[in-house]
Amino acid sequence: MTDHDKELQELLRQWEAPRPGGRLDSRVMNSWRQTKPRPRIRTWLGIAAGILLLLGLAQSWMTPQTTRLATTMDAQGFRPVPDGNITITTLTRGSKQ
Amino acid sequence: MTDETLYQRMRAGDESAFRALYGKYRDPLFRFAWRMTGSADTADDLTHDCFLSLLKPGFEAQRSQLKTYLYAAMRNLCRKHYRDTGREDAADTEQTASTAPAALDSMISAENGEAVRMAVAALPAAQREVVILFEYEELSMEEIAMIAGIETGAVKSRLYRARESLRRTLETKLRATAEAKK
């Protein structure tokens, strides 16, 4: 920058700007709050789906498992056939055993 | 946090992100609008509109910086103001009442400031905005070129012509300042 430029610049800097008006801040923030973007519907649906999934997983972890394949049987009262003689009886609908 | 990150958060509704951007750019944008229009009330209105325009889609981080985007938005608002009013506003003449005699330096500075204001206002709009952005907002030639939508060479050319005009207009003041320093 030349000396001429510096002198001009010093003079130009004497034109000082005021500060913004006192009400500008509140005016801008009020307008922002009235018009600010809201979270989109899809975002809320995604959040809801995630919560439901977590609840479902939590419930399955907490519920005791009662359905199991039987690997043992209670043999109380079991009597084997004494002589190995097996009788096959055919049952039809309505017949009494 | 970068301006672009703050912008994304603001667009998602984050008030603290909006406050951060507002706090950073309020004064520079107000000053620019005030020097372009000559009116503090108009500059207030345009600053308000400029920040609210951020809520509309338009800024793309891949194409520009948020800083130049905001200045360009303010430039467009100022131009629209000229079209709507058919003229620039006359400078505010409100003076703060003071009972104490002003110091001589303050009086001289205020006088010089007024002379500069008139000299800058007399420039063509294209030169005026370049001078204001370069001398007062200290933006680079490249940033000014993006804001004004012109080549960097055109910015240099306009700035050179503007400075020549200002030197001629303010010759008396420049001479007085140089004399005072001796």
* Interface predicted TM-score of the whole assembly (ipTM), two decimals: 0.83
Total domains present in chain A: 1
Domain boundary among B33, B62, B90: B90
- φ and ψ at B50, to 5 degrees? -65, -45
List B residues 163-182 in contact with A (Cβ-Cβ < 8 A).
163, 166-167, 170, 173-174, 177-178
User: How far, rounded to the nearest angstrom, does the alpha carbon of residue B174 sit from its chain's CA centroid?
Assistant: 23
| DSSP code for B132 | I
Same domain, B136 and B73: no
Residue A31 covered by a domain: yes
Contact A44, B30 (CB under 8 A): no
Residue A30 covered by a domain: yes
List B residues 6-45 in contact with A (Cβ-Cβ < 8 A).
11-13, 15, 18-19, 22, 26-27, 30-31, 34-35, 40-41, 43-44
List A residues 35-54 in contact with B (Cβ-Cβ < 8 A).
35-39
Query: For residue range A23-60, what is the model confidence (pLDDT) as tens digits?
Result: 999 999 999 998 876 666 656 777 888 888 888 888 88
Classify residue B70 as exposed, middle or buried by CB count within 10 Å of its CB (0-12, 13-18, 19+): buried
Distance CA B4, CA A30 (A): 23
Same domain, B2 and B84: yes
Closest by Cβ to A17, choosing from B19, B22, B35: B35
Total domains present in chain B: 2
Consecutive 10-residue runs of chain B (182 residues): their mean pLDDT?
A: 90 92 96 94 95 84 85 95 72 43 73 92 94 96 96 96 95 82 70
Q: Does residue A21 surpass a pLDDT of 50?
A: yes
Task: Report the run of H or E that residue B157 belongs to, with start and end.
Answer: helix B152-169
Interface contact A37-B55, CB threshold 8 A: yes
Domain boundary among B90, B125, B142: B90
Interface contact A8-B27, CB threshold 8 A: no
pLDDT band at A65 (very low <50, low <70, confident <90, very high): low
Q: Does residue A4 surpass a pLDDT of 70?
A: no
| pLDDT: which is higher, A68 or B26 | B26
Same domain, B3 and B85: yes
Interface contact B167-A29, CB threshold 8 A: no
Same domain, B7 and B81: yes
- φ and ψ at A41, to 5 degrees? -55, -45
Residue B96 covered by a domain: no
Cβ burial B166-176 (10 Å sphere, 16+ → b, else e): bbebbeebbee
Chain B residue with the nearest C-alpha to that of A37: B13
List B residues 65-124 in contact with A (Cβ-Cβ < 8 A).
109, 112-114, 116-117, 120
Contacts of B133 (CB under 8 A, 6+ apart): B32, B71, B139, B143, B144, B147
Residue B98 covered by a domain: no
Interface contact B52-A5, CB threshold 8 A: no
Range of the domain at B169: 103-182
Chain A residue with the nearest C-alpha to that of B120: A12
Q: What is the CATH number of the domain that holds B40?
A: 1.10.1740.10
Range of the domain at A43: 25-58
Amino acid B116: pLDDT? 95
Residue B178 covered by a domain: yes
Which one of A14, A31, A41 makes the best mutation probe of the B interface by having the most chain B beta carbons within 10 Å?
A: A14
Classify residue B4 as exposed, middle or buried by CB count within 10 Å of its CB (0-12, 13-18, 19+): middle
Chain B positions touching A11 (Cβ under 8 A) are: 112, 116, 170, 173-174, 177
pTM: 0.73
Chain B positions touching A13 (Cβ under 8 A) are: 135
pLDDT band at A1 (very low <50, low <70, confident <90, very high): low
Interface contact A11-B48, CB threshold 8 A: no
Residue B97 covered by a domain: no
Residue B52 covered by a domain: yes
